[in-house]
Amino acid sequence: MAYYTYTKDPIGAFQERDTGNWFEFSENDDPNTPFNEDFPHKVWVGGEGVCGDRGYRYAHVMKTRVVICTDEDEFGLPIKERWYTKKFNLYG
């Protein structure tokens, strides 16, 4: 599997169980984020898709599941989804 060109400093990858899509993830190194304790990773999403959505979502990546922040509510709190993985790889 090749690295995605838009991913910065990837440390691993996983395959989401329901859709079969692969995602790479890296450490959350954003200093101004209040969610660093809850979401220690960035999951890189997008690419050269239809919407041109290139970026990342804050997440906590574990071996069999991922808790990912998909949005925030009107109070600025994260809206979370739980994704299950079927393949998990750490690089290095």
Q: Are strands 12-16 and 65-72 parallel, antiparallel or unpaired?
A: unpaired
pTM over 0.75: yes
Q: pLDDT at position 89, please?
A: 94
pLDDT tens for 11-70 read 999 999 999 999 999 999 888 777 778 899 999 986 554 455 558 899 999 999 999 998
5 in any annotated domain: no
3 in any annotated domain: no
Q: pLDDT at position 7, please?
A: 80
Contact (Cβ atoms closer than 8 angstroms) between residue 22 and residue 45: no
84 in any annotated domain: yes
Range of the domain at 32: 12-90
61 in any annotated domain: yes
Contact (Cβ atoms closer than 8 angstroms) between residue 43 and residue 27: no
Q: pLDDT at position 54, please?
A: 59
Number of folded domains in the chain?
A: 1
Q: pLDDT at position 4, please?
A: 56
60 in any annotated domain: yes
